[in-house]
Structure 1
């Protein structure tokens, strides 16, 4: 669910008979279709729908939601549908820190309000525990922190803080980063 550009769907398709990639975003589906063509993976089927969907009536062996549940407002129906249509295993890949959390002070300085993190691993564990669901947690090392240029840092902050290029807030953000 939320296949994005295929960073999980394509590698998985090399090891299974079929991958159904559910992706609601037209832009991401376009990226995914191009990646499928480029990789020559005919066993990836792309579905244009939001999960959960009343149009879905197919059972799968394994379901995967990789970094796609953070902003789901109705998470319980999402998870219930995953479980209902999955024969063996439901997998969610989550981060332990919300995206952009490392920019919390910059967010407040630029937007004038505190950063409101999206739910992540901790909240998901609490929800599954409260619902008395059986689950396992496995951790993997994160990507190493890279030293990036001022331009790279400014572009990253712009994206994570939802700033328009060369806007007043973007210029303020850059000035703070330069300090």
Structure 2
């Protein structure tokens, strides 16, 4: 398949994750919303204990004091762990709350950072080129992935590095969707689809996979709270969710598999 066909397949598969209108209309809270504090805590852990292939692939291509563009940055979990090497950081995110958390941490770490609020690649014209471009845990939010990749590549002088789960980040809840709503959730897209698209665009993609360094949840109460929001259930049903997860053999939740993919750019 060529890049156009692969991009269309990615779009269709991602659209299949849409929540049925009748369930979404009755949801007590936005099932797609993210909690900045949860992601900020993960950033703090990553800064305290920097490790893994994604950081290694960024570090080996980043000159001392080099420039980094972090797309879909959140609070900076994929970039701020390299604070001692970064000379300039530009962070792009559609969430002002996430960018605020990043800027607080960048200032504390002595990193010169600029926040750009907006979706990528809509805001690419506002963003300078960088030595290394990072996009971590964002592609499953991107229906039109080909132009997203092309814009990343155009802004990288040396390398593009991406990190993503090997399957959709909501996949682990599929048994609970079937239990509570009688709905079977999709399987694709998966990381291999993103790799195939990048290769079809002409990038010399390299791939490394590993077990995620963090547990998804440390307490079953946290799982139940998250499931109530994501699966569009009343928070009052959290104890029922917890017991159902136990009955279905879903606790403890297995760690994700994370995929790092990267390619070097041509000046």
The two structures have a TM-score, normalised by structure 2, of: 0.58
2:110 maps to 41
Are 2:185 and 1:112 aligned? no
Aligned partner of 2:211 among 131, 141, 145: 141
After superposition, residues 5-44 of structure 1 pair within 5 angstroms as 5-37=75-107, 39-44=108-113
Would the alpha carbon gap of residues 13 and 47 (structure 1) be closer, same or farther in structure 2, given more than 3 Å must change? farther
Q: Shift of residue 133 of structure 1?
A: 2.4
Distance, in Å, in 1 between the alignment partners of 2:155 and 2:161 is: 13
Q: Whose RCO is larger (CA < 8 A, sep 6+)?
A: 2
Distance, in Å, in 1 between the alignment partners of 2:203 and 2:112 is: 32
Q: Answer yes or no: is the 8 Å Cα contact 2:139–2:145 preserved in 1.
A: yes
Distance, in Å, in 2 between the alignment partners of 1:17 and 1:57 is: 16
Distance, in Å, in 1 between the alignment partners of 2:218 and 2:155 is: 43
Distance, in Å, in 1 between the alignment partners of 2:175 and 2:157 is: 44
Structure 2, unpaired ranges of 5+: 1-70, 248-267
Would the alpha carbon gap of residues 27 and 80 (structure 1) be closer, same or farther in structure 2, given more than 3 Å must change? same
User: Would you say how many aligned residue pairs link Structure 1 and Structure 2?
Assistant: 176
Structure 1, unpaired ranges of 5+: none
Aligned partner of 2:166 among 91, 96, 115: 96
Would the alpha carbon gap of residues 174 and 57 (structure 1) be closer, same or farther in structure 2, given more than 3 Å must change? closer
Higher strand proportion (structure 1 or 2): 2
- The root-mean-square deviation of aligned C-alpha atoms, in Å, is 2.6
Are 2:192 and 1:122 aligned? yes
Q: Shift of residue 55 of structure 1?
A: 2.9
Are 2:120 and 1:51 aligned? yes
Would the alpha carbon gap of residues 145 and 59 (structure 1) be closer, same or farther in structure 2, given more than 3 Å must change? closer
Would the alpha carbon gap of residues 173 and 50 (structure 1) be closer, same or farther in structure 2, given more than 3 Å must change? same
Distance, in Å, in 2 between the alignment partners of 1:65 and 1:74 is: 15
After superposition, residues 136-175 of structure 1 pair within 5 angstroms as 136-143=206-213, 148-166=218-236, 173-175=241-243
